[in-house]
């Protein structure tokens, strides 16, 4: 399928934007900046999806990711406050290995993209992508869609249980001791010795 020149230019710019901002995520100083760079990468991909006629998915990407990245940035600030990224930081481990792994993955996937023969079946001219998606979601694939909904609900409940102040066996700050097998007995399934292991911030370089 041939696209007009303007679309090609737009794609090129967006692709550069997506890759550069995706890469900047891991080499910027502030985690808030990192999450917004990731958001830029997502938005660029979303616009590419709109160019590919997936109108609903592209726009859904904007709002899904805006909310997700906002939550992410808030968590970053909660765990590590660094207004305006004054303190530079580089928190990595197994750095060389990771770079190698990333490059290998890219080469493998790029090889597949370049060498494999994919069928060329462009979109039919009369296809309305949004209607087709809607019919699919509430038609043939309704079970999948509804399962996704149920899983999301389960996630919500699980998340509230996990992150709430009260752990499974009482307050989280008390260290969640399971009850004894006999009333007043030792906690079930716990080793006898209670060694104090290194809590606190581990900030390895």
Partner 1 sequence: MTLVTLLLLAAALIGIGFYGALSQQSFVMLMMGLELILNGVMLAAVAFWALSGAGAPEGQLLTIVVMAVMAIEMAMGFALVVAVFRTKQADVTEGITELKH
Partner 2 sequence: MIVSELLLPVFVVLATLAVGAYLVGVIDGAIGAALGAPRGQSAWLAPLTQGAWLLTQQANTTEAPDWRAWRLAPALYLALAATGLAVVPWSPTLIPTDLTTSVVLWGSVEALATVVIFLHGWSANTLLALIGAYRYVALGLSYILISMFVLIGVALPAESLQFSQVVASQAEMWNVIRQPLGLPLFLIVGLGMTFWGPFNLADSRDLAGGTASAVSGPPRLVWNLARAAMLVAFSGVAASAFLGGWLGPWLPGPLWMVIKMLVVLAVLLLIGRLVPRVQPERCVTLMWVVLLPLSFIDLIWAGMEALL
Partner 3 sequence: MAVSWLSRLAARARVPVFPALGMHGDTILHRLALTPGIELVDSPRHASILLVAGGVPPDLHEALRRLHDQLPAPFATLWYRSAPLSELAGDLRVDDPEALPEALKRLHRELMSGRRDSSPRLLPDEPPNPWEGLGDDGHGGEGMMGGVPYGRPMAMNMHDDIRDGLTLDSLTVTLGPFLPVLPPGLGAKVTLQGDLVQSWVTQLAPYPIALENVFHEALQRPVPIAELELARARHHLQRLAFSLRLSGLEHLALVALRLSRGLNVESRVGRLHRWLTRCGFFRLTAAGRGRLEAGQARRVGGIAARAAGLEEDLRSRDAAYRRLGFTPIVQRGGDTNARWRQTLAEIDHSLQLACRAEQEDLYSEMTEAVETPRGPWDDYRPEDASDILEDLLPGLEWDEALTTIASLDLAGVSEWPLEPLSETSLKDDEERQA
Q: Residues in the site for partner 2, rule: CB under 8 A?
A: 30, 32-33, 36, 39, 55-56, 59-60, 62-63, 66-67, 69-71, 73-74, 77, 83-86, 128, 130
Q: Which does 30 bind (CB under 5 to 8 A by kind): partner 1, partner 2, partner 3, none?
A: partner 2
Kindly provide the residue ranges of all beta strands, DSSP E only, lying in 135-205, ordered along the sequence. Answer: 166-167, 170-171
Q: Which does 70 bind (CB under 5 to 8 A by kind): partner 1, partner 3, partner 2, none?
A: partner 2
- Residue 80: how many CB atoms within 10 A of its CB? 14
Question: Alpha carbon of 84 to those of 31, 87, 108, 113, 138: distances in Å?
Answer: 10, 9, 38, 40, 45
Residue in 30, 40, 47, 61 binding partner 1, rule: CB under 8 A:
61
Residue 77: enclosing H or E segment and its boundaries? helix 55-79
Find the shortest distance in angstroms from Cβ 182 to partner 1: 21
Give CA 84 to chain center in angstroms. Answer: 23
Cβ closer to partner 3: 99 or 172? 172
Find the shortest distance in angstroms from Cβ 183 to partner 1: 22
| Tokens, residue 119 | 């069928």
């Amino acid at each position: 399928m041939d696209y007009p020149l303007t679309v090609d230019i737009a794609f090129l710019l967006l692709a550069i934007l997506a890759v550069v901002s995706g890469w900047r995520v891991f080499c910027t100083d502030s985690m808030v900046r990192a999450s917004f760079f990731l958001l830029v990468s997502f938005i660029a991909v979303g616009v590419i999806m709109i160019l590919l006629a997936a109108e609903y998915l592209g726009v859904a990407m904007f709002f899904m990711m805006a909310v997700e990245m906002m939550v992410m940035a808030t968590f970053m600030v909660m765990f590590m406050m660094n207004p305006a990224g004054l303190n530079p930081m580089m928190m990595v481990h197994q750095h060389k290995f990771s770079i190698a792994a990333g490059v290998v993955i890219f080469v493998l996937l790029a090889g597949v993209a370049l060498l494999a023969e994919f069928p060329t079946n462009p979109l039919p001219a009369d296809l309305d992508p949004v209607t087709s998606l809607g019919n699919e979601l509430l038609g043939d694939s309704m079970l999948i869609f509804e399962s996704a909904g149920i899983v999301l609900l389960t996630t919500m409940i699980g998340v509230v249980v996990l992150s709430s102040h009260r752990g499974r066996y009482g307050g989280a700050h008390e260290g969640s001791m399971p009850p004894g097998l006999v009333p007043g007995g030792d906690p079930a399934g716990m080793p006898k010795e209670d060694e104090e292991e290194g809590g606190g911030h581990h900030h390895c370089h």
